[in-house]
Structure formats: structure tokens, C-alpha cells
Structure 1
Amino acid sequence: MRRSNKKQLTRGPGIRLGVGLYGLCFIFVLLGLATITRASELNASVDRDKIAIDETVNLRLRYSGDESGGQPDFELLEKDFDILSRQQSNQYRVINGRAESFVEWTLSLAPKREGELMIPSLHYKDQVSNAIPIAVSEPQSRPEDSERKVFLEVELDKSKVYVQEQLLVDVRLYTTIGLHDIATQPLQVTGAHVEKVNEQRYERKLNGTSYAVYELTYAVFADSSGQLTIPALAYAAVAGRRDPFSLFNRNSQRLRLRSLAKTVEVLPKPDRYSGAHWLPATSLGIVQSWSQDTDTFAVGEPITRILTVRGEGLRAAQLPPLPKLDVEGLKTYPDQPQQEDQTGPDGVTGSRIETTAIVATRPGSYQLPAITLTWWDTKNHQQRATQLPAFRFNVSGSAAPAAPSQEAGTLQTLVPGTPSLEVQDHFWRNLAIAALASNLLWLLYFYHLRRQHIRANGQAVPKNPRPHKSYGSSAVKRAVDSGNPRHIQQAILNWLHTRWPQVESATLADATRQLGFEELDELQELLGAALYQQPPRPLPMGKIQGLVERLMDRRAGHNGEAEEAEALPKLFG
């Protein structure tokens, strides 16, 4: 009994000791789980909740728990705030024997508008931060210029403008300290066209203080009358020394500057304005130039006329097209107009350049009509007119003679400026008609006898005699294959002289006017555009080949008549 009791006494404490160790481990596990559960949280805080529109607020977001990379989605903040800077730090510390680790993000936020804004709840690793309301008020009263180190200024050159008139907006950044990484917000105006026209840096002294000035100039053109608002602009910059060997640049400070919005009254077009196109400008001019001396203008030789319209305070898109040139005796080949905008401190100067190749078809004296443009003087608030005077020049050379044969009953075309023909005596006119009719009857009679003679000898009369091969037919084909418009033009002209000897013309235009062939007129237009326009218009070779084939078919009909006419004199032999 004693032995058994002794065994029980020695085993009892061991059992109690084992139970105590397991219990302590279980308690530590529970405490550890509680600590982990309690540490996983996401908290947000700000340095202040009431700011002005031109001030910033710092948001601090802290996550306590196991950190394995990544970051919250900050896009929700960009609805009401601009994120000027963003920093991240990881920390581990022990307080009173308790270990703690967390990751923290610090953001500098600038409000986009006034009123009650809200920093929304952010999400990270299944945790949600608290939302924070921010009250944004109007800009606070600004100190005197001498007390400000950095500020933004917006200046307008006019308080009232007409619709589509140029308004200059100068945005200036003043600073007495070193700035870098300047981020500018482009000017965007609802209901207007905006164009940046100038950028410059200079120094200016205000109230005895020297400032470095960074200036941007915009030209604004209102689309309609009424109130036009120039919105507030926000600039961001970094002040302080930039240290290339520092990862965080702790000596620098990020600044955000904001200007004040401005309102402009836009006036409608005046009722007393009578121009065909509304052109509000500070000045408007028309300049004419030629590719060569007009004293050497000859028939069939191209000369280029260049008209340039320049308007100060107008965009090139606002300048209207000039009247088309339509003068009898002149062929014109207008080129595509060119538009160009030149920018500078005074805004936009628009130019419209119209180029036209002119070919005279006959000699003589020509006058190009005057060109007048009505515009509105925005400086003196009155209507003005700019005129390019009429231009007269002479064309030398000789015109092609008129076709010797005309259809019966047609009258000779009178050249402008020649005296009217006297009415001939009816007796002589009737006598001439009778003589022509008699000769025609005799020709038909001998032609009929000739055909009967051929049939009697058993010879077949071809219905469509094949034209004989003459100079020009093969040359035209070779010229078309070469694709050279000048070679094609000359080959067709030589071919016309071969097939129609009565056509005595020095240019293809004169031959076209004498013969009146539709395909020949189209050929002359296409070749002229390729030769005289600047830049030359490419030849549509498929269309050129089709027109030449049609011209050859027309030639075949005329050639058959020519061969029959050649056969008639043999009846008299």
C-alpha cells in the first residue's frame, strides 16, 4: 500500500504540470488571434476639414496588419480632388514589449470646386476606411504683392468682345523663389475656340519686389453672343532645391496655385453691318502677285496669279473664298486654297492663299475685275472695306484662224469689239445659195455614176473603208503610253493637222474651239490641268485612253468622207 501510494504521489504533479503547459499555449494562441484580428484595420484622417478653394488638405491613410504589397484604389478621390503628391512608408515598432507594423500613405489633395466635398471610403485588403467631409470656401483675401512669394494672375485685353472676335487671355505665374516641375492646366472655355499663341519668361518688378514671370497667352473666339466665362486655372509646382541623390526630396515643397474665374460680355453682330461675311478683325488686306512679268503674257502660255488675304485677329478658317475668275478668252485652272495661322503676342493672324493658272486663248487687252471684302474694325467699331483694284494686262501672239467651212445658214461668230457686219443684199445671198446647191447636185450626180460603174465591173463597195495610216496616229498612241501630258498634247495637235488640214491652230485650245469635238474638249481640260496647275494634277490615264479611242473613232468617220471626196476627181479624168 505504501508503494502504490508513493507512485501516485510522484505521478500527480506531472499530470498537473502537463495540463498547465497546454493551457498556457492555448491562451497564447487565442491572444495572438485576437491581436491579429484587432490589428487588421484601415483608418483615414486629414490635417484639417475646412479649406479655401486655393488651398490643399493632407490625407493620411494607415493600414495595420499583414502587408504584402499593393495599394488602395485612389481613383475615387479624383472626382472632387486633384492628387498633387503621393507618398508611402512602411513602419515596424515595439511599444511596451508589443510589436506593431503598418503601412501608411500620405496624399496632398487640392479641391476642384467649392462647396461640401467628401473624401470617400477607400478599400484595401478587405478593409474599408472611414469617409471624411471637407468644407471648401471661396479664396481668402490675398496679401499685397510685396508679401506674396508665388501667385497666379489672369488678365484679359478686353471686357467686351463681338461674337467670333479675338479675345486675348494672359496667364502669368509670379515667383520670388525657385520653382521646378511646373504643371500647367490648359485653358478650356465652353462655347469658344481656344488656341495658345505665345509663351515667354521674363522679370517684372512689383512694388519694389522683383519677380520671375512665366506667361502663357491664349486667343479665345466666342461662338455665340451672351456671357462667356473664363474658368479658374490651377497650376502645380515644386518649390525648393531638387536633390538628385535624395529619394524623397524632403527639402522641397509642392505648391498648388489657382486663379480667379472671369466673365466677358459677348456682343452680337451689329445690325448696321452689311457685309456678306462677318469678319471682325483689327486689319484686313488683299495682296496680288504673279509668277512672271505680265508684260510677257502670250497666247497659250500659262501664268500663275496668287491672291493672299491676311486678317489680324482672324483665324484662316474664318476667311471667305474669293470670287471665281470668269473672263472671256481666259482659261483658268484654280488650285486648292491654302490656309495658314501665324501666332504671336498679338494673337492669331490668318492667311488664305488662292492660286490660279491662267491661259489666254487669243491676244488682246484683258481686265480682271476688282475684289472687295467688307469687314468690321474691332478697334474703331465701324465697318470697313478692303479692295484689290481691277488689273489690266495685254496678251501678245496671234489667234487661230476661224474654220474655213461652216454649215449652211449659220452666221459668222463676231469677236467682241469688232464692228457689226452690214446686212448683205438678198439677191447676192440667194445667188450664192443657188450656186452652192448646184455644185452639190453635180457632185452627187457624178458620185452616183461612179458607183454604178464600179458595180458594173464587179467591184465591191466597202461600207466603211479603213482609213489609211497617216502621221500622228501611232505618235498619239506612243505619247499616251509615255504618260507625259506635253507629249500627248503635241501629238494630238499634230494628228489633228494631218487629218483636218483646214485646222490651222498653234494651240490645242484653238483646235478644240474650231472642231467642237466633245472628247477633244475634255482632253484639253485634263492636259491643261496637268500642265498649268501648281501643283500639277495627275493624269487619269484610263480616261485619257478612252477619250483618245473615241477621238480615233470620230476620225474614222471623217477619214471615210475624205477618201470618198478624194475619189470624186477621178471621175473627171
Structure 2
Amino acid sequence: MIDQMFVIKELKARLAQGLTALLLLTIACVANAQDLTASVDRNELAINETFTLTLRYSGKQSGGQPDFNLLEQDFEVLSRQQSNQYRVINGRAESFVEWTVILAPLKEGKLFVPSLHLHGEVSDAIPITVNQAGQTPTGQNRKAFLEVETDKDKIFVQEQLLVKVRLYTTVGLHDIATDPLQIPGTHVEKVDEQRFERRIDGVGHAVYELTYAVFPESSGELQIPSLNYVAVTGRRDPFSLFNRNAQRIRLRSEVKTIQVEPKPDSYSGSHWLPAASLGLVQSWSKDPEEFKVGEPITRIITLRAEGLRAAQLPPLPELNIEGLKTYPDQPQQENQTGAGGVDGSRIETTAIVATKPGSYQLPAITITWWDTKSGRQRATQLPAFRFNVTGSPVANSATPGPSGLPNTQTPITKEVEPRFWQKVAIAAIASHLLWIFYFFKLKRELGPYRNARLTEGRSRETEANKLRAASQANDPAAIQVALLQWVHARFPHTAGRSLIEANRILKLPDLSKLQTLLESALYLSPPRPLNQRQVKMLVEHLLKAPSTHIDSDPSDALPKLF
């Protein structure tokens, strides 16, 4: 008896220890839900230039700071500032601590701003490209001067040309007015604006840089006209009516000429697409292995090109397969701009409904384009996709005849005037038939609803497990597909929409962060590696997000096909 009591006490003690460990693990997971993000104002610079690192911590723990000594391996820390901010946006309060660090690279090549740690949180490492020091601009002894630089001396028609206009100054300038870059026969778009410091022959210069993306529409000589800048030197004196120490100066850049080549004769593509890179990504609204007759499934194809505007991207070929009905949506076009120029994307969404069972194959999609980096023709292909459809075929109401119209026989009838009691009997029978028909229709309509309610929980759990498995594998493409399928299962009112559209409706911060990480890993060149720990943390936050507080506009939802 004593031995049994001893065993029971021992079991209770171990159970208490296990519950304590589980509670501590839960508390640790909650603590890890805090955010530590890092960003830079520019990813490419010269060895004699500087850039700004911004580190933001929005967690609940206070005090402390990251170990900035990790930066000194590849960079010189010129200055560091800390600020505590609290703001209210649309009724939502937000507080965070932000560090602003000015860094100068110590060597050339491919560098990384290392991951920093604070209160258990880890920021992403950021790649930095450091080039050789640029040539000393003409007029280095002047207090201010302009420089115009292009990334290429020769391009093809409709290819992107990056034009950088830099204003150098060793004195304070204010009231700066500039002419916008306008070139006839081209499409010009301002894509970036930077402020940094560059040392020339040991003298520090403040640099104000504007970057334009230029797309020539015809071949020949492309002339970049001179630009005029007007500014005032000296410090403003608010107590002086005349500002005698101020001086108004006018700066003018030199004219540059670029040769624009026509499309190569060897190019065999149907659309001329000069790009630095081009990719095709396919995703589905639900598991493609669960095709059933009569049930719609949405196919989403994203065509993204580096160095091309969305308006230059061609439409994808239409599906025309017997046994499949397609309902294409209006394509979406988006442009993302940055220091590297314009990245255009075209998103085509198509709802597919099978009318009979069987095995189907969606043909491969091949896009031919011109690689501006290697100077040769390339092709990007989305492989063919095969799937099976189960269920019963949809029966036709009538068989077409030789003329294309349904075969019908017109019976010969003779009008008979019914008597009074015959009319009453016909009306009674008709009313009973109507009631019977209504009863069975109501039962048939409520049946799928009950089944849907029972299977809804199972579907959500299945998609959640797939999303966890994809985040564990750390595969960006698999995570993007699993994330879209989980969003459609968890928030049914987003069904049939792309991840971008669903994000606009749901307005979930964790979903936005995860989408940004995936796009950086899939589409940036070079790709930005995923932080597996941060991805897992964002996925767990999303899986715990309630679905009741999401505000959506019913009028914005897509109409049902049936």
C-alpha cells in the first residue's frame, strides 16, 4: 500500500513538472511574437559612399539595445540615433523603438548587414553591394555641380535605361528647383530618390540623387537633354528681410547620347520583351487533386519581369479544352519601382469548371524574351499540368440537330374545352405537385449546407497543416501556394482571389509581412533568403488569427458562377 502511494505521488510530481515546462514553452512562444525589423535606404553604393540602416523594435519589453558591434566587421558606424515613437492611425495605437545608423563600407564586394538580436527577436540579414569608387566629377573645386550617369551606353528599343542625376554640394543648399526629365519618344518614370555622402579627394560632398527609368519607343540616337537646377546657398536667417549672405545659383548638366538598337533579326518570339529576368508562377485556390465535375477551381498565373513595365507584358494564351469551361477575370497589372528600376507584373485569374469526368492536361505556357544581361534570346516555360476530374457528367437538356438547334417534335394537339370540375381537379393536383417539388428542392439545397458546415473545420485544419509543413521546408514557392489555399479556407469570402487581393481585404499585418518576404525570395535579383524562424512565427500568428474581426465589403466580392 505504501509503495502504491509512493508511485502515485511520483506520477503527480512528474505531471506537475511537465505542465510547468509546457507553460514556460507557451510563454516563450508568446514572447517571440514581438517584431524586430531592419531596412536600408539603398542596397548598392560605392566604397566612398554611405547608407542608412533603420532598426525598429515593436515588442512589449522595454530597455536594452541590439549589439551594434556586429556591424563593425564590414562597416564603419558613423552615427547612431535612438527614438521612441507612439502614434495612433485610424484609431489603432502603435508604439516602437527605432534606431537610425549611418554606415560606411570598409571593403568592396558583396556584403551583408548581419542579423541583430533583441529580447529574443532576430532581424533579417540584408545584402549590400559595394562597388569601386566613381570617377571624380568635372568641376570638383566648385561648391556645387551636377552629374548625369547611365547604367548602359547602348540598349535595345523598349529596353530599360537607368539615368541617375546627382547634385553634389559642399555647402548648404535650400529652395532647390529642378526640371523634370522629359525625353520625346520615350516613357520616363522616376523610380528612386536618395540622399547620401561621398568623399572626393578627401572632401565630403552631400549628394542628392534622382533615378529615372527610360524606355525608348524607337531605335536610333537617344539624347538625354541637359537639366537645370536652381538653388540658394547659405543659411536662412529668419530675422533678416534680405538674407544678404544667401546666393542664388544655377546648375546645368551636360547632354548625353545613347545608341538605341532595333530588335535583333534573330529574335523569334511573338512579343519583344527585353528584360533582365522573367518568371512565371502558378497557384490554385485549392488542392488541384480534388477536381470534381461542376465545382469551380481558380487558377492564378503571375508573369513578372525585371526591367519591364506591366503594360509591356503580353496576355497569356487562353484555355480551350473540351470538357472544361473557363471564366477569366480581368487581368491585374502592377509596377514596383526602386533603385534598380521598374519590375512589372501581370496577374491572370481564371475559374475552371469541368463538365465531365476524365483526365485533362493544361498545356505548357512558354514566354520567349530577350535577356539584356547575357544579350541572347531565352524562354521561360510553365510546365504542362495534368489532373483528373471525378463525378458524374452534366447532362444536356437537348441534343443538337443538323442545323445546330435542339431536335424537337411538335405533337398534333386538339383543344378540348375543360369542364368546371375538371378545372378544380387540375388545380388541386397542380398545387400538391408544387408543394412536393418545393419540399424536395428545400431538402436538396439544405443538404450541401449541412455537409459544408461539417467539413469546414476539417478543410481549415488540413490547409493549416500544409502551411506548417511548407514553412518547415522553407520553400518560398510552396509556402506561397499553401498560404493562398489556407487563406481561402479560413476566410471563405476571399475565395477565387489572388493573395494580393485577399491581403487588401483582410488587412492582416502578419499576412502583409509574410507576403513581402515571399516576394523578396521569389522575385528579387539576387533573391533575398528567407528567415525560417521569422516565417514560422508569422505562420503561427496567422493560424491563430480570428476570422470574425475581418471587415470585408460584400459588394467587392466576386459573384458566384452558379
| TM-score, normalising length: structure 2 | 0.49
| TM-score, normalising length: structure 1 | 0.49
Q: Of the two, which has the highest radius of gyration?
A: 1
